[in-house]
Homo-oligomer: A and B are copies of this chain.
């Protein structure tokens, strides 16, 4: 196939400005301050650990950022082949003037020192946003986040609800809920009121979505406040819950969140399939895996019950993508969302992208989000996606369906940005 055709499609996609609809950015410290913030990303610590670096070396308390980087560098040789490493290299090349082919024990220190200078420059975060072409960055905020001290039109709040649905049995989660809402729930109704306060707070601050990550065995059903009364009373009295109790509580909270999404007109991001703490001795954030035996049929009741809530759905395994494509093709309220975590490598992105572009209405696809913790990662991750997207558009649409380059580029722009605005709200 003609590389020049791909380039012709890639260039307008590459130069357009973006909205990143799902990240874990801390808006008060959005950019990296040292290379340790970048190499400390779990993708590198977990790969380095997987390749043999002891966790204790990586996570020793009290080591300096430079020492941490020094310890990680020798492991890079083992992971040079990975897509994750290619992001690192691209970050160093694009932001820190790095010109070598590899980051090695011989050249890392120069890179470290030079990058430090760049990161200490005035307004580094905004430079990164500018160079990356980012207009907006969506956040994933704890439910008790004050959402203060930053520009919520640039860093857009989203309500993360994992703790509420799955961790109310933890005392500190209940305390945080009570503190932020001023409510001490003792019944289904009062817990529901507390949840409502969170939506009020978040939407007042411009929140654009409610979001949650879900284990592969979760299958939400409708639980009324009354049916939840006893288990809510139990958990807020600090009593132990049975497995059945926990399921009732999770379903009740989850279902209530969906109801508030109707009331507050928020999309509900579902990130389906993660098993937490599978590798118990893994590094920080490097312990989770998945079970491919999950099915969206588990969400049948939810999707039917909430026709007015838009559910941007991310799946963790490529084996779930065809179900996602088919559900989005059938259910008006299900839309495809990005390429999550273990599926965020080129081979899976390419296939998932092809299937979605071939079978889901073009208005119902959120092409990509970075999932990043530090701003520097949007650039290489979106670049990876845009290269794949340009190739798929060239092959499947221009060459095989005789679309014009203009049509192909328009489709690319829509999934990259247009749909983010139509689904979550425009960038004022």
Contacts and interface: CB of A to CB of B under 8 A. Distances in A.
A67 to B, nearest CB: 22
B361 A348 contact: no
B51 A330 contact: no
B346 A326 contact: no
A364 B51 CA distance: 7
A70 to B, nearest CB: 19
A295 B286 contact: no
Q: How many copies make up the complex?
A: 3
A359 interface: yes
A329 B279 CA distance: 11
A326 to B, nearest CB: 4
B304 A51 contact: no
B330 A361 contact: no
Interface in A266-313: 275, 278-282, 286-287, 289-293, 295-297, 300, 303-304, 307
Chain A interface: which size bin?
35 or more
A347 B348 CA distance: 13
A354 interface: yes
A358 interface: yes
Most buried by B among A81, A362, A364: A81
B303 A275 contact: no
A392 to B, nearest CB: 9
Q: What are the 8 A-B residue pairs with the smallest beta carbon separation, nearest first?
A: A51-B361, A347-B354, A81-B362, A326-B342, A78-B361, A291-B297, A345-B358, A291-B295
Interface of A: 46-47, 49-52, 78-84, 86, 275, 278-282, 286-287, 289-293, 295-297, 300, 303-304, 307, 317-320, 322-323, 325-332, 342-343, 345-348, 351, 354-355, 357-364, 387, 396-397, 400-401, 411
9 contacts: A50-B328, A51-B364, A52-B332, A81-B411, A82-B358, A278-B330, A292-B322, A347-B355, A347-B358
